[in-house]
Every structure is written in structure tokens, then in C-alpha cells.
Amino acid sequence: MAENEERSTMSRRRFLKNSSYVAGGAIGGGFLGTFLGRDLLRGTQQNSNGENSVNDFNRALMHFTRQSDFELLSAAVERIFPADDNGPGAIELGVPFFIDHQLAGSYGHNDREYMQGPFYPGSDFQGYQTRLKRHEVFDVGIKGIEEESRKEFDSSFTGLEGDQQDQILQKFQDNDVALKGVTSSTFFELLRSATLEGAYSDPLYGGNGNMKGWLMKEFPGSYMSYIEEIEEEEFINKEPQPLRAHIVSE
């Protein structure tokens, strides 16, 4: 059947094309050290802070209207995922920009989620029940963090010591702070999971800067095939590949 044949030829052609991704991949450790200091992709540049960044132009705000709110967000996510001996923290990875950009889109606006009323608080087992959309939850939550800091320590959150910031965040996680329209633990859980998403998603979303999140975790990103390696006894540490590598110029 003609249609059938065409489909399988296409698949075979694609298979061959795709198999070119299989090549490479060194065995053994050492990529973290080797790659943290340099750019992994064509077209990357060093910015003025000496950080590697794929593109500086999208490092601007889509959701937040005040830079002070964005700075508070940055300080909070850095406590959730701090820079340490393992490597960069949330700020260097670009997590605050990731979150800001996500809040401006379908994630922030709960586009593919059921948002019809009536709204009731619900039990711990019934999930997200606020009428606020995520972008509103973040606004309320960030305002709440600032108020709580002033109440507790008489200082702006960004001016606190790390362990003081942790105390505030812990109160949010424990649901010990009253917010308008949403529980503080719901907000904290969104903040926590968005931080990890920003650290480890494909760099196309603006986080995981220069794939350093993946390098730390020794996750190689997007490879098309491991059929030649899956039986290996040794752990294989591969140079990470972003989705951008899948845009093939023909």
C-alpha cells in the first residue's frame, strides 16, 4: 500500500538521521569540572558578570511589574535551591526568570485546568482548590513573605540572613501564615516545585542556565538513543544535549 510504504520510508530516513545523535559520550566522571567553566553551545556568550548565558534579551520581566518583587522571588528560590559545593544555585541557573516567564503564560493562567466555581477549601487530599490562578497566588504569596519578614524581623525579606529567610519560608510551608484567597502551604509548594522545574527543565525555558542544572545532576538532557550503552556496567557521564540540538537545518 502506497501510504504505508511512504510512512515506513519516512521513518527509516528519520531513524538514520536521528542515529547521528547516538555518537559521543565519554565513560567516567569529570564533565562537571570540564564544562562548568565554558560554553556548551555555539552562540553562547559571557555576560558582564562573567556568567554564561544563552541569550540575554529574554532576561526581562513578563509577569512581575516591580523589580523589588522579582528580587524577593530570587532570594526565596535561592534558599530553596542554594549555590553550594555541588554547583550553582537557583539565581545563577536563571530560575527567577523561568518563573516570571511561566507566570505570564498558560502555567500562570491555569489555562488547561478546571477553574469553574464554586470554590471551597477542601481536604488535604483534594488538591488545588483556590479561585486564584497561579500568577495571582505568586503575587499574594510574595506580598505575604514581605509582610511576614517585616512582622517577624522588622526587615525586608531580601535584607535578612539566610537562616532568617529559611524561618519565614518554613512558616509558609507549615501553613502558619494567613494569606488572602490561598493557603500559604499551597503557595510554598508551587514555589518549591517551580524552583526545581526551573533548575532542571530544558534551557529553552530560560532556567537550567547553560545546562548547569543537568551538569550538577549528571543528567545528559536529550539523547535520541542509548541502545549502545544500556547494557554497560559502568556509570556513563555524558555531555548534556539541549533540545536545540534537535532543530536541524536542512
Partner 1 sequence: MAKTLDKVEVLTVGVGWTGGIIAAELAKQGVQVVGLERGKPRSTEDFQHVHDEYRYAIRYELMQDLSRETITFRNHRDERALPMRQLGSFLLGEGLGGAGVHWNGQTWRFLPYDLQIKSKTDEKYGPDKLGADYTLQDWGITYDELEPYFYKFEEMAGISGEDNPNGAPRSKPYPTPPMKETPITQRFKDAANNLDLHPFHIPSGNLSESYENPDGQTVYQCQYCGFCERFGCEYGAKSSPNVTVIPTAQDTGNFELRMHANVTELVYDGGKVTGVKYVDLQTGDEFIQPADVVVLTSYVMNNVRLLLNSGIGRPYDPETGSGVIGKNYCYQILPGANGFFEEEKFNTYMGAGSLGAAIDDYNGDNFDHSDVNFIHGGVATITQTGQRPINNNTVPNGTPNWGQEFKSQSIKYYHRVLSVGAQGASIPHRDNYLSLDPDYKDIFGQPLLRMTYDYTEQDRNLHDYLSEKCAEIVKEMGADTVEPREISDHYSIVPYQTTHNTGGVIMGGDPETSAVNNYLQMWDVDNLFVVGSSAFAHNGGYNPTGTVGALAYRAAEGIMKFREENGQLVTARHSSKKV
- Positive or negative, the CA dihedral 76, 81, 83, 84 is positive
The mark string for 139-178 relative to partner 1 (x by CB under 8 A, - otherwise) is ---------------------------x--x---x-----
Check residue 9 and report its DSSP letter. Answer: H
Kindly report the number of other CB atoms within 10 A of residue 212's CB atom.
23
C-beta atoms surrounding 203 within 10 Å: 27
117 conformational bin, left if phi > 0, alpha if psi -120 to 50, beta if neither: beta
Q: Write down the least CB distance from residue 51 to partner 1, Å.
A: 19
User: Which of 46, 68, 86, 155 is in the footprint of partner 1 by CB under 8 A?
Assistant: 86
Q: Does 138 bind partner 1 (CB under 8 A)?
A: no
* Contact range with partner 1 by CB under 8 A, out of 64-72, 106-114, 152-160, 175-183: 106-114
Instruction: Give me the least distance between CB of 198 and partner 1, in Å please.
Output: 9
In the window 42-71, what residues touch partner 1 (CB under 8 A)?
none
- Cell match 466555581: residue? 117
Q: Cell numbers at residue 220, please?
A: 545528559
Stretch that binds partner 1, among 42-50, 136-144, 148-156, 212-220 (CB under 8 A): 212-220
Q: Which three cell numbers stand for residue 152?
A: 517577624
Tell me: does residue 250 bind partner 1 (CB under 8 A). Answer: no
